[in-house]
Structure 1
Amino acid sequence: MKTNYIKNVGILCLSLFIFYSCHNDEISALDPENDRITTPEDIDTDGLYILNEGNMGYNKASIDYFDYTKGTYSKNIYGKANPSVVGNLGDVGNDIQIYGSKLYAVINVSNYVEVMNAKNATHIAEIKIPNCRYIIFDKGYAYISSYAGPVGMDPNAQLGYIAKVDTATFEIISKETVGYQPEEMTIANNKLYVANSGGYRAPDYDHTVSVIDLSTFKEIKKIEVDINLWKIKKDKNNKLWVTSRGNYNDIPSKTFIIDPETDNVEKKLDIPISDMAFIDDKIYFFSYQWSTKDKIKTYGIIDINTQKIISDQFIKNNVESQITVPYGITINSDNGDIFITDAKNYVSPGTIYCFDKFGYLKWKAVTGDIPGHFAFLPKNLKK
């Protein structure tokens, strides 16, 4: 008995040594007791919500949660927090954001925005908006982009609009027409900038950024940029970075910089960007360019001040070879963690990768289907 005991203790110690060596070198193992995937951290961020789009037509949108305080990863927390909600979260989650003490999830094909308690994802209200896409906030209001019409290719598709919602009552108080199939938005100089795609009208794409004066909530101009616009984000220098997806064939994806002081396109960059995240003076981006001819993946860093690529690979140890379809990226400004999601084959569970600020893998976890959107939960929520 004693001999077996010593043998078992030896095996246990060896196992623990291997576990912690692997943890320090690459990723931690999944703890079956509580889904613990990494060491807890005491930072100003409590956690990270991950919105999984789910496959269109299957009602499979879901929300996962990574808890920094416990080092745990939990899947489908909305379903667990709201067992009485019929139909779960809905069809195609397209954006997720926190404003004040509320968590907002834009559910595209289900035509509504789900409003939850940011602390526990319990249901509070829903805002009905057809074919809604993205959400942004300013001074007590939410602005939500809408394709307006039904899902589907249509050369005669109607113009989209932006809905202005009072975040105290969740009532739509106004709508403003913009371009065709509006996507992401950003705010600068008390103006709302909207990237219009025209994706339903291909090959006759839209090619403008709508500018709305937030004082009057009226579109005051359209800026000519390029076809099939998608992402638009503001950097620390108050410049707007806008991405064009091209036509997936002979017109490549590009990136444009708009100066909100003049509302002119300041520069065109022959850099394809699928998604991007900002931290300090840098933009971390990935590009997954697919066309009728090829598929190309890139993970790069751009210097905001020089507007030039300073690295064409920020992931270390060849971990990028594990990623099939990069789909979303975000960065935690508290500790520099870089998160990238992998949509895999679009019909099965994906993966989220967490890298440290130097590009080394800290951990990874299985997600819901098509993970791609994020919201960091701060330790102290604002009301």
Structure 2
Amino acid sequence: MNNLKIKLSVIMLASIFFSCRKEKGIINEEVTKVPNQITAINGLYILNEGNFGSNKASLDYYDYANGIYRKNIYEQANPSVTLGLGDAANDIKIYGSRLYIVVNGSNKVEILDVKTAKKIGQVDVPNCRYISFYKNNAYVTAYAGYVAVIDTAALAVKTQIAVGQQPEEMAIVGSKLYVANSGGYNYPNYEHTVSVIDLNTNTELKRIDVDVNLHHLKADQYGDIYVTSRGNYANIPSNLYVIDTKTDAVKKKFNITASDICIDKDFAYIYSVEWSSITSSNVVSYTKINIKDETIIPSNFITDGTEKEIEIPYGLAIDPLSSDIYVTDAKDYVTPGTLYCFDKYGKKKFSVTTGDIPGHFAFYTK
């Protein structure tokens, strides 16, 4: 094994409390020591999806200050919630003092105290997917073909905005919300548009024609939106597009496969997992783009060869201060995954075991 691989150990310590709290009732935590990451960011929440129908969604926390990785903190903080976090978690965001978790299979948005992970409440949204925030509202995509608008004070849905079929990820630029419509239930006649919503009126303004089966959508600092297409899993491969939000039109097609994307400052990081019928195996790639001039950097963003340890990349995040790169490995989708950390130069720093199918992140500053 690589000599940087961190030997995992399970420590049963009643004196170690999540996020340096001193509370009773949180005992027998499963924790793992990993290298400290001392920056102004104090920690990282990792959301594990769990296989659909297995009710194994879970929440982990990596404490930067002491280098401790804590698994399954939701159930430890909320022992009275009998079904735990739920089935198939799909997104996580911090807004104000609260942590919002979208649990797709359980048809709900969980709202937690960001410091303690204790449950504050929940809002029911059928087949919910992703969440974004604007002023006093949370916006949640629902596969029924709308965006649910949640009042963050009342924790209740106050209206719905009709969009395209099976909407996925969203991004906000100015007072406009961009929504990737997938049509994921309609193979082979997928949806192919991005909805544009006026956040001042909560109405759909238009739809931008892009490509089939859209999924991830991220905004950069120059007023552009990057959106991935999953293709049709046959003769149309996945791809990456750029939308100019000043004109609300597609300005560039990169002609690269793209499963997920994360943007940090002037760079976009993309990984791709594409099934090859020729080799009967997955073809995995890691790409970096200079978004200032919209050019592909001709090298893998993992530079030390340790990407070979990753079986199925499934989640991607960049520390906004240190630019450390986090990639998760879903492995076989039924056993615990792995979180990998690379420095901004693509050198591996550590790896640690997570829950099942780790895929989503939220950076936290105390």
TM-score over 0.5 for the alignment? yes
Aligned to 1:284: 269
Distance across 2 between alignment mates of 1:45 and 1:202: 42
After the TM superposition, which of the residue ranges 40-49 and 219-228 deviates more from structure 2? 40-49
Contact 1:249 1:292 in 2 (8 A): no
Greater share of residues in helix: 1
Q: Which one-letter code corresponds to 1:198 in the other structure?
A: G
Contact 1:198 1:205 in 2 (8 A): yes
Aligned to 1:238: 223
After the TM superposition, which of the residue ranges 182-191 and 39-48 deviates more from structure 2? 39-48
Shift of 1:31: 4.7
Contact 2:276 2:283 in 1 (8 A): no
Question: Which structure has the larger Rg over C-alpha atoms?
Answer: 1
Q: Which one-letter code corresponds to 1:130 in the other structure?
A: P
Question: Which structure 2 segments of 5+ residues have no match?
Answer: 14-30
Q: For 1:215, which of 189, 194, 200 is the aligned residue?
A: 200
Give the number of equivalent residue pairs. Answer: 346
The yes-or-no answer on 1:39 pairing with 2:26 is no
Contact 2:34 2:352 in 1 (8 A): no
Q: For 2:166, which of 172, 175, 181 is the aligned residue?
A: 181
Aligned to 1:6: none
Aligned to 1:130: 126
Contact 1:40 1:70 in 2 (8 A): yes
Mapping for residues 1-383 of structure 1, pairs under 5 Å: 26-33=4-11, 35-148=31-144, 160-290=145-275, 292-293=277-278, 294=280, 295-379=282-366
Secondary structure class of the residue paired with 1:45: coil
Seen in structure 2, the aligned counterparts of structure 1 residues 65 and 209 have a Cα distance that, compared at 3 Å, is: same
Q: Which one-letter code corresponds to 2:351 in the other structure?
A: K
Secondary structure class of the residue paired with 2:185: helix
Aligned to 1:13: none
Contact 1:248 1:291 in 2 (8 A): no
Distance across 1 between alignment mates of 2:330 and 2:128: 21
Distance across 2 between alignment mates of 1:281 and 1:139: 26
Q: Which one-letter code corresponds to 1:128 in the other structure?
A: D
Shift of 1:38: 2.7
Q: Cα RMSD (Å) of the superposition? A: 1.5
Contact 1:351 1:371 in 2 (8 A): yes
Q: Which one-letter code corresponds to 1:300 in the other structure?
A: T
Q: Which one-letter code corresponds to 1:45 in the other structure?
A: I
Q: Which one-letter code corresponds to 1:129 in the other structure?
A: V
Q: Which one-letter code corresponds to 1:79 in the other structure?
A: E
Contact 1:249 1:291 in 2 (8 A): no
TM-score normalised over the length of structure 2: 0.91
Shift of 1:308: 1.5
Distance across 1 between alignment mates of 2:36 and 2:225: 35
Question: Which structure 1 segments of 5+ residues have no match?
Answer: 1-21, 149-159
Distance across 1 between alignment mates of 2:143 and 2:32: 40
Shift of 1:32: 4.2
Contact 2:34 2:69 in 1 (8 A): no
Q: Which one-letter code corresponds to 2:167 in the other structure?
A: P
Q: Which one-letter code corresponds to 2:65 in the other structure?
A: T
